[in-house]
Amino acid sequence: MIDLLKQKKADLENFLAEGKTTIILNGTQFNVVLPKHLKEKDTVRLNLSLGLKHDIYISDTEVKTILNFNQKDFSVVIPLSSIYCIHLANNPFRIESYPESYPKEESEYPEAEETEVLLELMRTLPINKK
């Protein structure tokens, strides 16, 4: 688990360095701090950017920042363990997925193996070459 958290932290930092980043997380995880209407959802998409008004703090276990929801600022705490996908907001082919962190009910999600095959295929596309 520690290695996975380190990987998520490094991935998030790398994505943020490239631009506006979307994280997909399980809002129902007990230690996630989000507005009430999002705490009840197992799929929450949040956009993060280093160019936002408030700083983003990424520790070894969580992300803390202030985001605007319906024109109101809200201090969020996002445990790295709750994040199951990170992608560039303007490039859905630049993506990292963490099947181990998917919400328990995966009926809406492809099986982990299928997701890994898809991600591997996407990484081979010319747009994803570094």
Condensed to tens digits (0 to 9), the pLDDT of residues 3-41 reads: 999 999 999 999 999 999 999 999 999 899 999 999 989
What is the sign of the dihedral through the CA atoms of 41, 28, 71 and 87? negative
Q: How confident is the model at residue 53 (pLDDT cuts 50, 70, 90)?
A: confident
Q: How far apart are CA 23 and CA 76, in angstroms?
A: 13
The DSSP output letter for 33 is B
Return the domain boundaries, the chain. 2-128
**Class of the domain covering 2-128:** mainly beta
Whole-number percent of the chain with pLDDT over 90:
68
Please give the residue that has the higher pLDDT: either 125 or 87.
87
**Selected residue with higher pLDDT from 1 and 38:** 38
Mean pLDDT, residues 68-96: 93
What b/e readout covers 86-119, taking b as 16+ CB neighbours within 10 angstroms?
bbbbeeeebbbbbbebbbeeeeebeeeeebeeeb
Which tens digit of pLDDT belongs to each residue from 40-50?
899 999 999 99
Whether residue 104 has pLDDT greater than 70: yes
